[in-house]
Amino acid sequence: MGKRIAVLVSGGGTNLQALIDAQARGELGGGTIAAVISSKAGAYALERAEIAEIPHYVIPRKEHPSNQAMTQALVTKLKDLDIDLVVLAGFMIILTQEMVQAYPNAILNVHPALIPSFCGEGCYGLHVHEKALEYGVKVSGATVHFVSEECDGGPIVLQKAVAVEEGDTPETLQRRIMEQAEWHILPQAVSLFCQDRLRVEGRVVHILPPQA
């Protein structure tokens, strides 16, 4: 049976779009995007879900007193929807332990840097690229990892490096990393999960060969 995927978003949703497009091409390993959940009303990602005819929901952070209360509401919704895989695609709320306990090694996050560089609390969205440019790295990239209780600290599934170019701004670097890395490795990681080809051993994720 194909896996039921929920994609959690907070903003523009270009990574969600990459997943929708991969599904349309039959490249999600038999998984189905069964729900899109936004932490913000009015996020453009919700339009993308609407256009693709995917059920979508808003669970606003501001209607919950804490990240923990927000996480509990999300877990309840995900269980109601019978979700197997949770994908954080530009989801800007730090989830608390209840989510990891409900979905052990079944939550994937895309981060716009090569973890363990430029990650952790406060390092999200454009800030990541500002920090990379300030530091002067010549290579950055993106990481897809399983979510653990440590922010951006879970086992790494896929990474892709992207060159920093002379004259880059946080915006140009962000766009290049999305185009060359995030939009490719996120659907690939989801596909591998849906094919049961990821085996986690401690910090290390082994990628198994395709089943004959």
Minimum CB separation from ligand GAR for residue 113, in Å?
8
Minimum CB separation from ligand GAR for residue 196, in Å?
25
Residue 112 near residue 89, CB atoms below 8 Å: no
Minimum CB separation from ligand GAR for residue 133, in Å?
15
List residues near ligand GAR by CB under 6 A: 9, 11-15, 89-90, 110-112, 124-125, 128, 178, 182
Annotated active-site residue 111? The verdict is yes
Taking the least distance from each CB to ligand GAR, the nearer of 110 and 194 is 110
116: number of Cβ within 10 Å: 11
Taking the least distance from each CB to ligand GAR, the nearer of 3 and 48 is 48
Taking the least distance from each CB to ligand GAR, the nearer of 13 and 154 is 13
Residue type at 163? Answer: A
| Cα–Cα separations (whole angstroms), residue 65 to 8, 73, 121, 177 | 19, 11, 19, 34
Minimum CB separation from ligand GAR for residue 124, in Å?
4
- The angle that helices 183-194 and 14-24 make with each other, rounded to 10 degrees, is 50
Taking the least distance from each CB to ligand GAR, the nearer of 87 and 106 is 87
Active-site residue, selected from the candidate residues 56, 111, 129, 145: 111
Q: What are the DSSP calls for 165-179, one per residue?
A: -TT--HHHHHHHHII
> How is residue 51 written in tokens?
């256009």
Residue number, nearest CB to ligand GAR: 90
Q: CA 149: distance to chain centroid?
A: 15
Catalytic residue annotation: 111
